[in-house]
């Protein structure tokens, strides 16, 4: 396979977990009875997704972004990302939406996919690492994003949204490959913007949603999610 075919294949593989995570969440909601166990699983999955996001920020987005940018633009783009998501989160809440998990997923899925395409020609191993991390992140995040979407849309529409979004990584990766492969500072700025936004979402929306009264299990999910990110970076990094 040539580089373009590989990028499309890897993007398709990493994006497929968006739909698969949503599909699993759908069948979980339909076939598992309500109760403490179901609540613990939902909250643990939310915490696990938060842990994966923390891993994405701490192990990929910030380290790679810091390598590409000097101090002033590093601070600037991280801060802009946090402020942008602060206003976006407020806008969604005023509209009655609960798409924090969907925002969290897209805010690392898209820039990481762009970065994967951009770095592939120079560093294929980093491109593969990003592909694996994206796939690992997307699954629990899509599981929770489906639950968010389901509160506003029908099951069918929620699954269609996730199915269509699963292909967005291909477009993002090709954009990175064709237009940004020679622009490392732009990639760094994009990563740090994403890191700022994700960090805001974790502490404003995702972490509070993972809390379950009189249960300590969900908090372990966050640690497990971060550990999964560490393992992926260690093995492939």
List per-residue pLDDT tens for the chain, 237 residues long: 788 999 999 999 999 999 998 998 888 877 777 766 677 777 787 788 778 778 888 888 888 889 889 999 999 999 998 998 888 777 767 765 556 667 767 776 888 788 888 888 777 877 887 888 788 778 877 887 888 888 788 889 999 999 999 999 999 999 999 988 888 898 889 889 888 888 887 887 666 666 667 676 777 777 887 887 778 777 766
Q: Is the dihedral of CA 73, 135, 59, 85 positive or negative?
A: positive
- The domain total for the chain is 1
**C-alpha pair distances (Å), 9 with each of 18, 56, 96, 115, 127:** 15, 22, 37, 15, 12
Tokens matching residue 227: 């550990």
User: In 3D, which of 192, 210, 162 has the Cα closest to residue 48?
Assistant: 210
**C-alpha pair distances (Å), 36 with each of 45, 130, 224:** 14, 36, 21
| pLDDT at residue number 132 | 82
| pLDDT at residue number 199 | 86
CB 58 within 8 A of CB 191: no
Q: What SS3 class is residue 215?
A: coil
| pLDDT at residue number 79 | 94
| pLDDT at residue number 137 | 76
pTM: 0.77
Residues whose CB is less than 8 angstroms from the CB of residue 27 and which lie 6 or more positions away in sequence, other chains included: none
| pLDDT at residue number 236 | 65
Q: Which domain holds residue 102?
A: 3-236
Give the Cα separation of 148 and 196 in Å (integer): 22
């Amino acid at each position: 396979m040539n580089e373009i075919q590989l990028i499309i294949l890897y993007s398709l593989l990493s994006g497929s977990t968006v739909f698969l995570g949503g599909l699993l969440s759908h069948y979980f909601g339909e076939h598992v009875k309500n109760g403490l166990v179901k609540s613990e699983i939902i909250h643990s999955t939310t915490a696990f997704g938060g842990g994966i996001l923390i891993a994405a920020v701490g192990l990929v987005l910030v380290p790679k972004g810091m390598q590409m940018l000097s101090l002033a633009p590093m601070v600037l783009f991280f801060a802009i990302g946090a402020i942008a998501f602060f206003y976006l989160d407020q806008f969604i809440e005023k509209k009655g939406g609960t798409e924090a998990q969907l925002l969290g997923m897209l805010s690392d899925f898209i820039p990481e996919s762009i970065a994967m395409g951009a770095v592939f020609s120079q560093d294929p191993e980093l491109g593969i690492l990003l592909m694996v991390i994206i796939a690992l992140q997307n699954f629990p995040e899509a599981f929770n994003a489906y639950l968010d979407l389901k509160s506003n849309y029908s099951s069918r529409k929620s699954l269609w949204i996730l199915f269509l979004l699963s292909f967005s990584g291909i477009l993002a990766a090709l954009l990175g490959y064709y237009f940004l492969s020679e622009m490392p500072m732009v990639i760094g700025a994009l990563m740090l913007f994403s890191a700022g936004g994700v960090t805001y979402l974790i502490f404003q929306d995702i972490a509070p949603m993972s809390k379950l009264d009189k249960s300590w299990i969900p908090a372990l999910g966050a640690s497990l999610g971060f550990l999964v990110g560490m393992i992926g970076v260690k093995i492939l990094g």
